[in-house]
């Protein structure tokens, strides 16, 4: 059993458990019995979710009259219980409410943003973090979170890449499933669990130009092979709810998309949970130009299969009329309301509707904080370490200059989606450094915040650098520069941070740049100027202690990139599992090397940018360590695999350095010829392995032929016989391939 989850399940067992465990059939029969007694108005009430403001008479009457199924944005246990009492004791049908909130990477104890957690490649970290979030949030009455976001993000301009697990379908699937398991625990009726919500279905990460809410065009094979698997994995892990996305996809917004919600989700995947709209996404069918008006939107969404209208006021205002006019069948309303009621049974709310005040507002347990610190440590990626400047032996340095706008950013180190943050609990790197190095620290931020362009503090920062043996430069993005509706076209460090770094360089001291950001940034010249670069994403509450452990070598960095880092902003979207093209770049002609009046074809006519080449700054999967690893050539159990068979692939991994460390060993394949062109590499498995100095471990991966399947021209999965390459490597670019064949039986 995963340790972190075990801690919280154990505490749940100690709670008074009154929820009956019902089989699906029993739940269905309870749901049907309720539906048979409910009025149409009450059924529509169940389909309505409102943002909570206050428990005034209007709100209480709404509950009493059975006109609401759920509130979001309520997080006060007394108020939850007050509303719940109104629902359970004073409404006709006595149906409990379910309270929801965006608890995305922690409630009060904030974990690294999901993109940071993804860099850990460690399902236990993600699962444990979600269990902590569920434990804390449920102690305020929240039993439903709008997480995990499992949208694939290939474009760092999109601010919401912060919320997901990066660009790869397999990594996102595994971590998304782990997050679902962490929130929901082993039994969703336990009061310290939350229903998960796999979002945003579907293809939201592919918004054109990385601009939020924008259109997506995704051919079905791309949807099926790249974008769908992570939603499916979350659902297979038991996610109780799914949220539709804002974008229109191939011309049809998901909130009115029968193909997505009915044909794929319900029929093909057999999903029997609940579907919630995104905030107002049903009424957005109107500005999308897909519905005439809000009534039309309500009709389209209900027919498509959206069970709950989040703060859109389309169902509550128009569905009754639409049913009466025969535009929507009442049977459809029964199905939607049935899905909402089923969720409430699954959560045990009919038996156990109230927050137990003896465990209300439980935050910051020492073991939660420890797990959050470990998450920071495992999420940090060492991008560069020239001259082994890291780790720093604190006993050997006399003075350390701590510079940069992110050194002491109690709010901003937490990143996006932290509605419930109490920033006084965030431990910053400056605080933690002072704890270990006291008077040795000279703090001179140079810039007040990440976008700051004023150079007034530069001279003092340079003075601090001159007086010190080493500079820790804390750069990055404020929290507000990533997340929903916070997209950027310029992915370089904002404000005058690059100028400040250039200024610090004048001191001639080693510079360690620590980056806290909500997305992959373009570091270019900055990374050249720094001797070492430790990339964190936004780390949350325990950023400080985690960073200090990494800088001092108490912990060895083991994060690997969940997204490709571009060389320039214009290189986006960029991702490792791209196609080869008919003209892959063999050599690059750089813009400054082109002769005057050179001929049109003189630059080679290949697939690259004159000013950015084709290779990324750092590939997907990349990450260094304070030690070194050697991976043996992969050993295949057979070089031929039947189309319905499998092979095993083994390799030896040795820690060739003198420090304990963890490496992420990645197995990639390439299908050399296909009836549809195939990506140059596809991740098929990975393992995070911990090794003592000199130690060797043998890893064995099972590679079933089914994992090599792709969506054929008939939109059906197919495994094609033919030649394949296989790599076992530490990132998506390195390693030497071995060959194998898939053969007909
Ligand atoms: C976001 C969702 C979120 C919802 C509720 C929307 O704007 O797209 O991800 O869960 O708001 O806050």
pLDDT digits (tens, 9 = 90+) for 520-533: 999 999 999 999 99
Residue 16 lies in a domain: no
Residue nearest to atom 2 of ligand 1 (CA): 278
Q: What is the pLDDT of residue 19?
A: 65
Question: Residue 508 C-alpha to ligand 1 middle, in angstroms?
Answer: 47
477: CATH:
3.40.50.1700
Mark whether 248 is an active-site residue.
Answer: no
User: How far does CA 660 lie from the centroid of its chain?
Assistant: 28
Residues 302 and 435 in one domain: no
Residues 470 and 321 in one domain: no
Last residue of a domain, one of 513, 536, 552: 552
719: CATH:
2.60.40.10
Question: How many Cα atoms within 13 Å fall on the side-chain side of residue 387?
Answer: 9
Q: What is the pLDDT of residue 21?
A: 78
Residue 362 lies in a domain: no
Residues 504 and 641 in one domain: no
pLDDT digits (tens, 9 = 90+) for 83-139: 999 999 999 999 999 999 999 999 999 999 999 999 999 999 999 999 999 999 999
Residue 611 lies in a domain: no
Residues 526 and 653 in one domain: no
pLDDT digits (tens, 9 = 90+) for 463-489: 999 999 999 999 999 999 999 999 999
Question: How many Cα atoms within 13 Å fall on the side-chain side of residue 576?
Answer: 25
Residues 133 and 173 in one domain: yes
Residues 350 and 388 in one domain: no
Residue 428 lies in a domain: yes
Residues 211 and 286 in one domain: yes
Residue nearest to atom 6 of ligand 1 (CA): 279
Residue 138 lies in a domain: yes
Catalytic residue among 102, 135, 212, 278: 278
CA dihedral 503, 508, 512, 517 (to 10 degrees): 10
Secondary structure (H, E, C), 510-576: CEEEEEECCCCCCCHHHHHHCCEEEECCCCCCCHHHHHHHHHHCCCCCCCCCCCCECCCHHHCCCCC
Question: Residue 420 C-alpha to ligand 1 middle, in angstroms?
Answer: 15
Question: Residue 598 C-alpha to ligand 1 middle, in angstroms?
Answer: 52
Residue 265 lies in a domain: yes
> With bands split at pLDDT 50, 70 and 90, how would you rate the model's confidence at 6?
very low
Residues 451 and 312 in one domain: no
Mean pLDDT of the chain: 96
Mutate to test the pocket of ligand 1, among 102, 254, 283 (most ligand atoms within 8 A of CB): 102
> Could you tell me where the DSSP H helices lie in 190-242?
220-222, 228-236
186: CATH:
3.20.20.300
> With bands split at pLDDT 50, 70 and 90, how would you rate the model's confidence at 18?
low
Last residue of a domain, one of 502, 536, 552: 552
Q: What is this structure's pTM? A: 0.97
First to last CA, the chain: 39
> Domain total for the chain?
3
Question: Residue 641 C-alpha to ligand 1 middle, in angstroms?
Answer: 45
pLDDT digits (tens, 9 = 90+) for 683-728: 999 999 999 999 999 999 999 999 999 999 999 999 999 999 999 9
Q: Which two tokens stand for residue 280?
A: 């107002």
Mutate to test the pocket of ligand 1, among 70, 241, 278 (most ligand atoms within 8 A of CB): 278
Residues 351 and 372 in one domain: no
* pLDDT tops 50 at residue 240: yes
Residues 289 and 323 in one domain: yes
Closest CA relative to residue 687, chosen from 739, 660, 651, 641: 651
* Distances, alpha carbon 613 to alpha carbons 447, 584, 617, in Å: 33, 11, 10
Q: Taking each helix axis as running N to C, give the angle between helix 330-346 and helix 24-37, from 0 to 180 degrees, rounded to the nearest 10.
A: 130
Residues 428 and 331 in one domain: no
Range of the domain at 714: 629-743
Last residue of a domain, one of 552, 579, 613: 552
Q: Who lines ligand 1 at CB under 6 A?
A: 102, 146, 199, 278-279, 484
Residues 665 and 711 in one domain: yes
For a pLDDT cut of 90, what percent of the chain falls above it?
A: 97
Q: What is the pLDDT of residue 20?
A: 73
Q: Can you tell me the distance from the alpha carbon of 128 to that of 114, in angstroms, rounded to the nearest whole number?
A: 13
* Selected residue with higher pLDDT from 250 and 22: 250
CB 112 within 8 A of CB 130: no
Residue nearest to atom 8 of ligand 1 (CA): 278
Question: Residue 150 C-alpha to ligand 1 middle, in angstroms?
Answer: 14
Q: Can you tell me the distance from the alpha carbon of 117 to that of 162, in angstroms, rounded to the nearest whole number?
A: 10
Residue 361 lies in a domain: no
Q: Can you tell me the distance from the alpha carbon of 260 to that of 258, in angstroms, rounded to the nearest whole number?
A: 5
* pLDDT tops 80 at residue 36: yes
Residue 578 lies in a domain: no
Q: Which two tokens stand for residue 619?
A: 């590939």
Residue nearest to atom 4 of ligand 1 (CA): 279
For a pLDDT cut of 70, what percent of the chain falls above it?
A: 97
Q: Can you tell me the distance from the alpha carbon of 120 to that of 125, in angstroms, rounded to the nearest whole number?
A: 8
* pLDDT tops 90 at residue 8: no
């Amino acid at each position: 059993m995963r340790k972190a989850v075990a801690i919280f399940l154990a505490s749940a067992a100690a709670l008074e458990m009154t929820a009956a465990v019902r089989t699906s059939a029993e739940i269905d029969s309870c749901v049907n019995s309720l539906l048979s007694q409910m009025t149409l108005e009450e059924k529509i009430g169940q389909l309505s979710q409102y943002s909570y403001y206050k428990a005034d008479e209007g709100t209480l009457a709404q509950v009493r009259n059975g006109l609401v199924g759920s509130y979001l944005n309520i997080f006060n246990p007394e108020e939850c219980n007050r509303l719940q009492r109104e629902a359970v004791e004073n409404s006709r049908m006595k149906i409990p409410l379910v309270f929801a909130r965006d608890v995305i990477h922690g409630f009060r104890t904030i974990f690294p943003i999901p993109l940071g957690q993804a860099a850990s490649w460690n399902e236990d970290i993600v699962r444990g973090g979600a269990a902590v979030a569920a434990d804390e949030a449920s102690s305020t009455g929240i039993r439903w979170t709008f997480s995990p976001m499992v949208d694939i993000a290939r474009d760092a301009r999109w601010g919401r890449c912060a919320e997901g697990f990066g660009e790869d379908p397999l990594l996102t699937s595994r971590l998304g499933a782990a997050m679902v398991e962490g929130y929901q625990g082993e039994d969703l009726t336990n009061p310290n669990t939350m229903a998960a919500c796999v979002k945003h279905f579907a293809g939201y990460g592919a918004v054109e130009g990385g601009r939020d809410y924008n259109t997506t065009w995704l051919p079905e094979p791309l949807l099926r092979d790249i974008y769908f698997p992570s939603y499916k994995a979350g659902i297979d892990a038991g996610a109780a709810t799914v949220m539709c996305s804002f974008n229109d996809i191939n011309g049809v917004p998901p909130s009115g998309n029968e193909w997505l919600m009915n044909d794929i989700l319900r029929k093909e995947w057999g999903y029997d949970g609940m579907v919630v709209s995104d905030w107002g996404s049903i009424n957005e069918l109107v500005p999308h130009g897909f519905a005439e008006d809000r009534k039309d939107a309500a009709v389209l969404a209900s027919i498509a299969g959206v069970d709950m209208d989040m703060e859109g006021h389309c169902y509550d205002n128009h569905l009754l009329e639409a049913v009466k006019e025969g535009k929507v069948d009442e049977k459809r309303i029964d199905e939607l309301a049935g899905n909402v009621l089923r969720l409430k049974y699954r959560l045990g709310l009919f038996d156990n509707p109230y927050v137990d005040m003896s465990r209300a507002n439980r935050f910051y347990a020492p073991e939660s904080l420890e797990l959050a610190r470990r998450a920071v440590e495992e999420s940090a990626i060492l991008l560069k370490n020239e001259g082994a400047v890291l780790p720093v032996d604190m006993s050997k340095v006399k003075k350390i200059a701590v510079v940069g706008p992110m050194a002491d950013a109690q709010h901003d180190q937490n990143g996006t989606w932290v509605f419930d943050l109490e920033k006084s609990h965030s431990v910053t790197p400056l605080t933690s450094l002072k704890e270990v190095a006291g008077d040795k620290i000279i703090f001179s931020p140079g810039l007040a915040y990440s976008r700051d362009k004023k150079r007034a503090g530069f001279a003092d920062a340079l003075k601090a650098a001159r007086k010190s043996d080493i500079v820790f430069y804390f750069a990055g993005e404020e929290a507000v520069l990533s997340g929903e509706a916070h997209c950027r076209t310029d992915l370089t460090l904002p404000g005058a941070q690059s100028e400040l770094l250039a200024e610090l360089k004048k001191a001639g001291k080693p510079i360690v740049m620590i980056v806290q950001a909500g997305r992959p940034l373009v570091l270019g010249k900055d990374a050249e100027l720094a001797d070492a670069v430790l990339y964190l994403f936004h780390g949350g509450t325990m950023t400080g202690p985690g960073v200090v452990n990494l800088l001092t070598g108490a912990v060895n960095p083991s994060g690997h990139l969940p997204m490709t880092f571009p060389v320039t902003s214009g290189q986006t979207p960029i991702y490792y599992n791209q196609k080869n093209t008919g003209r892959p770049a063999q050599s690059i002609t750089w813009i400054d090397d082109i002769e005057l009046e050179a001929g049109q074809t003189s630059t080679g006519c290949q697939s690259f940018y004159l000013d950015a080449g084709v290779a990324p700054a750092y590939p997907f999967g990349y990450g260094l360590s304070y030690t070194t690893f050697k991976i043996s050539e992969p050993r295949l159990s057979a070089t031929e695999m039947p189309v319905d068979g499998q092979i095993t692939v083994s390799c030896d991994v040795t820690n060739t350095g003198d420090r304990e460390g963890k490496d992420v060993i990645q197995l990639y394949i390439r299908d050399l010829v296909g009836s549809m062109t195939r990506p140059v590499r596809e991740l098929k498995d990975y393992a995070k392995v911990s090794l003592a100095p000199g130690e060797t471990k043998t890893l064995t991966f099972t590679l079933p032929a089914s994992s090599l399947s792709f969506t054929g021209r008939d939109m059906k999965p197919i495994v094609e016989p033919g030649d394949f390459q296989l790599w076992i490597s530490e990132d998506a670019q390195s390693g030497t391939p071995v060959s194998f064949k898939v053969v007909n039986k």
